[in-house]
Amino acid sequence: MNAQPEFGDEEKPLDPATERVRRKLARFGAIFMGINIVALMAVLGAVVYKLGGYGKDDAQGQGIPAVGVSAPIEPGFDTMVDIPDGARLVSVSETGGGVVFHLQLADGSTEVWFFDLATQQVSGKLRLR
């Protein structure tokens, strides 16, 4: 017996159960590829959006500080903010007219301080437990 199919031999048709499974697999593959293509397009669109700098004008128009906007601090500005003993400064961020300090206190709690640049004083504190 010859195990190799000869040229010119036609394939026999599949039985109905096997044909249904083959069609389901083909449909699943097509759907899977379509979802992957849409997801890849979304990721590439997000990368282009971020690299292109789109949306900066919208944020500035609404009073929301955009990335790259500097604090309105004049040259020669000098002030001191006293934080409690044992406190650790976690982060500092700039707002339209002030600075926000995120502090980790010695007792483990967290406070957010709002510093007003115009008055050069802490205008509010928010304690988080």
Whether 75 maps to a domain, the answer reads: yes
Whether 60 maps to a domain, the answer reads: no
Which positions ≥6 away from 83 have C-beta within 8 Å?
89, 101, 103, 113
**Highest-confidence range of 44-53, 61-70, 77-86, by mean pLDDT?**
44-53
Structure tokens given for 35 = 């979802």
**pLDDT at residue 17 greater than cutoff 90:** yes
Which positions ≥6 away from 52 have C-beta within 8 Å?
none
pLDDT at 56: 57
Whether 6 maps to a domain, the answer reads: no
1/68 Cα distance (integer angstroms): 78
**pLDDT at residue 21 greater than cutoff 60:** yes
Q: Are residues 49 and 80 in the same domain?
A: no
Structural domain of residue 118, as residue ranges?
Answer: 70-128
If one counts the domains in the chain, the total is 2
What are the backbone dihedrals phi and psi of residue 66, each rounded to the nearest 5 degrees, phi first? -95, 165
**pLDDT at residue 76 greater than cutoff 80:** no
